[in-house]
Amino acid sequence: MGSISHLPAYGYRLLPVVIDEIARDGPDRVLFYTPRNGQPSQGYDEVNTKIFAN
C-alpha cells in the first residue's frame, strides 16, 4: 500500500494558506462579488483569488 502522507492536511490549514494555494493554481478564479456601492442595482465587482491573496 502507498502512503497518503502527501495529501493536504484538510482541517488543519489556515484560510489565508488555502486562498494562496487556490490563487497559485487559478489566479482568475472568482471567489465572491461585492456591490459597487449602496445600491445593488448599480452592479457588482468580482473579487478573484489574485486580488484577495494580495
Q: What pTM was estimated for this model as a whole?
A: 0.62
Q: What is the pLDDT of residue 44?
A: 97
Which residues on neighbouring strands pair with residue 47, listed in sequence order?
Answer: 32
Q: Where are the domains of the chain?
A: 15-53
CA dist., res. 13 & res. 2, Å (int): 23
Contact 20, 4 (CB under 8 A): no
Give, for all 54 residues of the chain, the pLDDT tens digit.
555 566 677 778 888 888 898 899 999 999 999 999 999 899 999 999 999 887
23: how many CB neighbours lie within 10 A of its CB?
A: 19
